[in-house]
Structure 1
Amino acid sequence: MKVGVIMGGISSEREISLLSGEGMVKALKDSDKYEAIPIIIDSKEDVFSKTQDIDFALLALHGKFGEDGTIQAVLQTLGIPYSGCDTLSSALCMDKDLTKTILKAHGIRTAPWLMVSSLEDIDYKAIEDMGYPVVIKPNSGGSSVATFIIKEASEVLDAVREGLKWDKEIMIEKYIKGDEITCPVLDGEIFPTLAIKPKADFFDYTAKYTDGATDEFIIELQEALQKEVDFMTLECYKALKCSVYARVDFIISEGVPYLLEINTLPGMTKNSLFPKSAAGRGISFKELLELIIEKSLIVRG
């Protein structure tokens, strides 16, 4: 079976996508099940011209036209089965505001937030009531691009202005200080929880993609907390109608878990979290990718 590994794209996370795609192609090089074909997308039109001879699309895209459901809809129209979540779920999870709104309605704990779409929308009184520090970030961004921890009102304007260069909506969210963890899910099964310990104060773009900048390791939480995290993870996965695989991120503050976000196409570089979690189950990177392909073919079959 010819598997097109689709990478690159048009989002701010293009370079990370290329790394993910290259890692996937390399990992599948020795597969006796699938022939991995690298497909670099430089424009939306490339999807039509570069996918004609593949049997399956293994998505290594991140950000817009990758995780937002758009390319999933295109591939579905072309009759090409693809990896991961479908159009609806991808779109919901890409929009942080919608994600938090839906999950809050399902009783999932998440930090207070408000939205702005212009500098004039900034409500300093509402931010003051929410309490500093706050996190200011693009609503549909990823990899912590244009994400800032803001400690006082004088810093808000510049952070929102920078965020608006990347997205038309900006989320201002109460900063919850704590320990970050991530919970990968494959076909409704929770994989080992990973602790994320950046050596800097913040798990930013550099910490995520630079060797040695962050310690990431499998952790077993205290029993009651682990049960709550596992429950919240599956509730998030189900409420947002995820399929095949996703990664659910939390912050643990004084023993209380708060949802951060859900990644429907989590990174697949050598530094990425999902492969590290899978390794805790004795599943190699190649085996993980083969499982993702197999589970996706069942869902899309």
Structure 2
Amino acid sequence: MSKRSRKFFAGWGGVLLAVICLAVLASDTSGAEAKPVRKVLMIGIDGCRPDAIEAAHTPHLDRLVKQGLYCENTDILASRETKGDTVSGPGWSNLLTGVWPDKHGVVDNSFKGSSYMEYPHFFARVKEARPELKTASFSSWPPIAEKILSHSDETINAKAQHAQDYLVADDELSTAAAKCIRAGKSDVVVCYFGQVDETGHGNGFHPTVKKYVESIERVDGYIGRLLAAIDERQKTSQEAWLILVCTDHGGSGTNHGGGREKPEIRHVFIIASGTEVKAGKTSEPTYQVDIVATALDYLGIVPQASWKLDGQSVLDLKRSE
């Protein structure tokens, strides 16, 4: 073979080797499944007793419990001594900031002494760690949007004031939140429903109170809209949603204030459900502040020490099948 021929074949040999390498790399890439994008929906049901959920017909909440982790021993008060009445101001501050009243400063519904600049809504923590994530808040109790909320890319505040207002607002909020989810516009969504608490104040917080149970059943229907939107997203897009369900307090009679010593007021629940959550039930102690820690854990966000969060993720708790 001539010197020129050897150079020719050597050159084409290099090209052929490069083509084979590219083909192998392409094959490896196409064979690997892309990891689904993790997203979070937090559903808040104000004033919802867990025993009333058991008494109600709630196919959508039942589905979330069956497919997820049900924490049946959740406390709305800290294990350390802190101030704070068993009302919505401290409750939703606990749930949305991930710290107790001795840090966020809210001890009643006046919101006097709040420290949301230092201990903000958890959307701020999400944005600090992953600024590309989009957040959305849908609520009908005005203080959530007007006092607690920050760093939301989309906000709908229905501003309900009376019992009938909450019926309309919850319906509209669920439709708006489902539309937001279906459009793929947000990564972290909070949707608050207020009518269960209002019904409890008007008729009684108890599983034997028909109107109270019916309000939970209506909210379950709204939750069904949200789940239908998530189901669509997970079928058509590479997404894996964590659905968290929580409440700020239970109730006794037609009230819930001053309930630090009343189990039916302070002992509630957390549901953490999704395709990537191991199903089961746990009676281990959990707390309101665990909601934020759980959401951040699922999103792969490691809390900074400077955030001084009080909660722990519930996703790794021991559970019974």
TM-score between both structures, scaled by the size of structure 1: 0.29
Between structures 1 and 2, the one with greater helix share: 2
**Higher Cα Rg, which structure:** 2
Between structures 1 and 2, the one with greater strand share: 1
TM-score between both structures, scaled by the size of structure 2: 0.28
